[in-house]
Structure 1
Amino acid sequence: MTAALARPILLRYAAPSELAAAPLHSSVRLSLDGARGPVGVRGTVRDAALFRDAMAALATILESDLRYKGRDRTAYLAYLMKQGKKATAAIWEAQKAFLEGAFPDDAAPQGDGSAAKPRASGALDPVLTVHPDEVSIEVFSRDESAYARLAFSSDLFEGREAAHGTAFVDLSPRIVEQIDRLRAYAKVELDAGAARADAAAARSAPIERSIEVPTTWLRGFLQVQSAATLPAVSCELAPIDLYNALFVLRTRKAKKPPRGLRFELVPGKPPRLILEPWEILIEGHGPPYEGPPRVVRTFGRQRLLALSRLLPHVQRVRAELRGPGLPVFWVLDLGRATLTIALTGWTDSSWASAASFDALMPREGKGGDKARAALDALAGRQLALLRERGPLPLASLAAGGGAEDARAALQLECLRGRVLYDVARRVYRPRELFADPVDERDIRYSSPREAAAHRLLGAPGAVRPTKVHEIAGEGTEIHGEVADREAHRDFAPRFTMDLEGRVSDAWCSCPTFRRSGLREGPCEHMIALRVAYARERAERDALRQTAEGRSLIRAETRTYVRREASGAEVVYRVSLDDRVVHLSWGARAEAPRHQRIWFDTDGEARDAYFKRLDALTSSGFVDADASSA
């Protein structure tokens, strides 16, 4: 099913949000969307400094946009026109149209100097939900790469009055700029509601705004919700560890890839952080890690700088690391508040996220219509249970049934916008994003080409990766074959994934690529190969844990690392290529040593390959390819 272009939303605010700051008394009045019924919270804030800094950090994440922005050359073109140079008005207007289309969220001033008119298309306002035990605000960054959920505990408010529910909140830049006017010693009152009957509200004009929410924005927002439900590797850091990492990021700038943040997780020892490409080691001071040894590479670290404001309030830090390409969740315990931030490895939800989102969606046709109907019925029962009893962990929701079936059903409800997984408390909460649930089929595909790619994937054997070549220092090159039965032709796409998981240097033999290259985005054959490679890798990682699965492996490369007492990191790389085993080892900062071993049969080479991997594990080496988020 082809995705809809946008979802129309009508927002109605009785009055704009406002902040009145005085030396000894301040009031924050947040206006909520009146279409969602009586929802709101009111009370006196016990810790004004925590409230101020947390809201400021949340606003920073909301306004963050790390996408590349081209320079506006309209003034220069106007100068050339005055000089009689070759710069026509058509060029000027085309330049302005391009900038407006490329950055639709940046409202341009009108010619008469008045305020900009609201655009018809844009992102949703922040989502405020009042629960019996907390009040939360959810935001999604402008570049669709960072999600944050700020939850204030009920005991933060003195004399709390609340009406439970979910509504959009008017958190305009004007209010954000005034947050810093709040003083820690002053009394701060919060009043968040759909309507206010005071005189100020009566004098204010109501706000009504109709927006078209892009499918890409909604898809990215709900993708984070669905990814939160997946199992994760969890580790705890001390606040000083986060400070040290932010200090390095603030004082240094990486000029070349990789730009990852590596976690070294060794059982019984505090987690270590390594910042690339400088290989700066930060020894952890948190509790010892409990779990299997892992080295996890994450991306999106530059967005962590938005947390600097909260460092004085942080009591504990927890990082939850999920599968390759999926968001990394950071949970900051602030005492009477909790900030959960999810960081993706890309800016702007695009081709790079196609394979990750595919892993979150229920497979079409898997198990037939009966299996899908059973999943929908289970999801409905769990939603009714959450509405009746409130937040519940997975164990309570899966009582009397399988945990995996319960997780799949809840994941489906997260995609529909009716359930929220609270990563900080590790419970599921009811949260109605819209009055009507989102049809997950509308957000399954971000474009018609992605829908065509999944049509190709639906034919058995139509999409097949043929060659995976590891390029030292650059990434991985993937070649494939795609049999397009509708076109009655076979195509040969290929692309290169760099060290940060981004796709570059793509090529295909289809007419679409020959006509326009990548100017119109990747063709369906490239997308199909990207998703097929991700599926094949996941299946191979699952099969290699068994003897039957290992017997099918003919070519593979694994990297193992070990941290010495001196702090130096030893890297051991083992490759299997038919009847050849290639070994490469040495300190990371030095030139490695190499050895090639030839065998008479591929079976002998495979046995020697896995024996070498087992010997490295017993020697204290950690598999660096086991997880990369």
Structure 2
Amino acid sequence: MAPAQTYAYACPSGLDPGRGLLGLATSGGTTSGGPAVHPHFFSGLLTEAAPAAAGLIALAEVARTRYFRPQQTAFRDTVVTCGGDRLRLESFSACCGVYARLDVLSGALDGEVVERGTTNVDVNGPLRESLARVGGSDPLHLAVGTDELAVTTLDGAVVEKKVPLPDRWLRGFAEVQVIASGFDLRAELAAPAAVAFLRGLPRRAGAPLWAVPSGRTLRLSSRPASGAVCLAGPDRLATLLPLLRFARALRVYGPAAHAGSGPAASAWELELPGMRYVLSVSPEVSRGFSGEGAVLDALATDEAADDAELLGALLAFEPRVEPDLLAERAGIGAHRVRAALTCLGTAGRVGYDAAEAAYFHRELPYDAGRVAEMNPRLRSARVLVENGSVRFTEPGLATVTAGEHPRQVRVTGDRASCTCPWWADHRGSRGPCKHVLAVRMVLRSADSEVVADDLAG
């Protein structure tokens, strides 16, 4: 049974057409001034009401959908962060394979930023129905957390939701920002080409497809190629379709690919008037972001954890986190800042925006220690180290004894390999195995005598 997160709202979110007011009720969150029961972030105009309403509906649709084994549905509330010049709203699918974010930028906001911070907002069924009726070009007053929200509903009753938060859902939030930080822009389509490409996608596909740049558009292929972007489960991009009437461009991000590349995650960004809607999809429909293991190396180091604590105290809900500035303020090297940002991501304290190639500060309502402890590979690796199961036979080569099957681990710089079945199946594409993790922990240990004694003995 997944532990439940309780969201308490002073009233339901609502849309009052008569007053032109969209009120988003907030639950407990974190602000620049500390924890808040019902934080108030913004009051002013949404100058692009129709695309913002459609974007909110798309976020809610992702949050209530299981793209893999869709027989079960679940709904988790949207996370909103006010970074001063923008609002970022995030959701994650119930199957952990799709991450969605709506960035409402300064060009679509005209009002007062009351406070910076992060909270959950109530996006209920009646609100979604009301948002679907928003149209035209009239601006809409937006209130994110304020007492005036109560007048948008008939009774203003207190709302309490108890939502199960599975460990893999929490891990997914941690993993997706690490994976996205390795993305580069691979293609940019103008609105007409974007509409034609997205509307022409097959509804279902067995094996992952590859979107290959072709002139001013993309073509689908069953095989990877240089510059291609993986697209597993094209139906997972369905929430982009209702937004196409507002689209100005489509940008596609992914890791470097070549002939012979395996499935990979990708991000699909639709530029809207004054805002961006982004969908990140996992490498395969059956693979959630929670199992990718991208954060394991950073979680396995004590130095990165200490640096993360230091850098965390310097964050102030900036819309862009500048690593060089953090390195200067903290007095540590850039490589240590990058590892610390990964650790902060596992705590839900930073996300990554591929459009700006930058981290951003936000706070999710869960504990970083819990993310580390709920990863079975990391737990197993720590047990191996504690039990003295790692023995170096020569520099860069170790024997890891786990049960009756000793494994050979070879480490060369940043590269590693192992003789275990996990490594044979994935070749590091889903993060390191427990044996490689254990070896790296020992190599990073301040007690270098462990290695020296093994080689001497």
TM-score > 0.5, shorter chain as reference: yes
AA aligned opposite 2:7: L
**2:31 paired with 1:30:** no
Q: Which residue of 1 aligns with 2:436?
A: none
CA offset digits 1:530-552 (Å, max 9, x no partner): 355648999xxxxxxxxxxxxxx
From 392, 397, 403, the counterpart of 2:321:
392
Match of 2:249 among 304, 316, 319: 316
Match of residue 207 from structure 1 = 159
Cα distance in 2 between the residues matched to 1:364 and 1:425: 25
**Distance of aligned partners of 1:197 and 1:58 in 2 relative to their CA distance in 1, 3 Å threshold:** closer
- The answer to whether structure 1 residue 262 and structure 2 residue 200 are counterparts is no
Shift of 1:341: 1.7
Q: 1:340 to 1:535 in 2, by over 3 A?
A: closer
C-alpha separation in 1, matches of 2:48 and 2:429: 47
Label 1:198 to 1:175 Cα distance change in 2 as closer, same or farther (>3 A). closer
Give the equivalent residue in structure 2 for 1:306.
239
| Within-5 A mapping of 1:538-553 | none
2:127 counterpart of 1:175:
yes
Match of 1:64 in 2: 65
SS of residue paired to 2:200: helix
Map 1:138-537 → 2, pairs under 5 A: 138-193=90-145, 195-196=147-148, 199=151, 203-230=155-182, 232=184, 234-249=186-201, 252-253=202-203, 257-264=206-213, 270=215, 273-276=218-221, 294-322=227-255, 325-347=263-285, 349=287, 354=291, 356-357=292-293, 359-362=294-297, 372-387=301-316, 391-399=320-328, 402-434=333-365, 436-445=367-376, 485-486=402-403, 488=404, 527=422, 529-531=424-426, 534=429
- Following superposition, the deviation at residue 175 of structure 1 comes to 1.3
The structure number with the bigger radius of gyration is 1
Q: Distance in 1 between matches of 2:384 and 2:306?
A: 30
1:498-551 superposed Cα distances (whole Å, 9 cap, x missing partner): xxxxxxxxxxxxxxxxxxxxxxxxxxx86565355648999xxxxxxxxxxxxx
1:411 positional shift: 0.9
TM-score (norm 1): 0.55
User: Which deviates the most, 53-62 or 403-412?
Assistant: 53-62
Q: CA deviation at 1:436?
A: 4.9
- Closer, same or farther in 2 for the Cα pair 1:444/1:27, shift >3 Å? same
Specify the alignment match of 1:51 in structure 2. 52
What is the rounded CA distance, in whole Å, between the counterparts of 1:34 and 1:254 in structure 2? Answer: 39
When residues 426 and 202 of structure 1 are mapped into structure 2, their CA distance, relative to the original with a 3 A threshold, is same
Q: Distance in 1 between matches of 2:204 and 2:13?
A: 40
The one-letter code sitting in structure 2 at the alignment partner of 1:346 is: E
2-side partners of 1:456 and 1:436: how far apart? 25
Structure 1 distance, partners of 2:244, 2:226, is 29
Give yes or no for the alignment of 1:135 onto 2:66: no
Letter in structure 1 aligned against 2:241 = S
Cα distance in 2 for partners of 1:363, 1:404 equals: 11
- Residue 210 of structure 2 contacts residue 228 of structure 2 at CA under 8 Å; is this kept in 1? no
> Unpaired segments of 5 or more residues in structure 1?
71-102, 107-122, 280-291, 366-371, 462-481, 492-524, 539-629
Q: Any idea what SS the aligned residue of 2:132 has?
A: helix
- Aligned partner letter, 1:14: A
Deviations 1:354-387 (A, max 9, x none): 4x32x3322676xxxxxx3332232233333332
Q: How many Å separate the matches in 2 of 1:386 and 1:336?
A: 26
Asked if structure 2 preserves the Cα contact closer than 8 Å seen for 1:139 and 1:148, the reply is: yes
Distance 1:406 1:203, change over 3 A: same
Give the match for residue 14 of structure 2.
18
* Residue aligned with 2:312, SS: helix
**2-side partners of 1:262 and 1:537: how far apart?**
28
Match of 1:95 in 2: none
CA drift of 1:170 comes to: 0.6
> Separation in 2 of the partners of 1:57 and 1:43?
22
| Structure-2 change in CA distance of 1:253 and 1:306 (3 Å) | closer
TM-score of the superposition, structure 2-length normalised? 0.74
Distance 1:254 1:435, change over 3 A: closer
CA apart distance, 1:224: 0.9
CA distance in 2, matches of 1:219, 1:163: 28
Unaligned runs of 5+ residues in structure 2 are 30-34, 257-261, 392-398, 408-419, 434-457
Secondary structure of the residue aligned to 2:297 is coil
The structural deviation recorded for 1:414 is 0.5
Residues 300 and 344, structure 1, Cα contact 8 Å, conserved in 2: no
Q: Using a 3 Å threshold, how does the CA distance of structure 1 residues 262 and 46 change in structure 2: closer, same or farther?
A: closer
Distance in 1, Cα, partners of 2:405 & 2:150: 70
- Counterpart code for 2:425: R
Query: Structure 1: which amino acid aligns with 2:251?
Result: R
Confirm or deny: 8 A CA contact 1:21 1:181 kept in the other structure.
Answer: no
Which residue type is aligned with residue 316 of structure 1?
Answer: A
Shift of the 271–187 alpha-carbon distance from structure 1 to 2, 3 Å rule, reads closer
Instruction: Find the residue that maps to 1:329 and give its secondary structure.
Output: strand
1:211 alignment partner AA:
V
State the partner residue of 2:451. Answer: none
Percentage of matched positions with identical amino acids = 24
CA 326–413 in structure 1, closer or farther in 2 if over 3 Å, else same: farther
1:264-323: CA deviation from partner (whole Å, max 9, x where unpaired) = 48xxxx57623245x9xxxxxxxxxxxx95444442332223212222322232222126
Q: Distance in 1 between matches of 2:286 and 2:126?
A: 25
The question of whether the paired residues in 1 share the 8 Å contact of 2:229 and 2:252 is answered with: no
SS in 2 for 1:181: coil
Size of the aligned set, in residue pairs, is: 398
2:33 equivalent to 1:9: no
Instruction: Note closer, same or farther for the CA distance 1:201–1:258 as it changes in structure 2 (3 Å cut).
Output: closer
How far apart, CA to CA, are the structure 2 residues paired with 1:157 and 1:388?
18
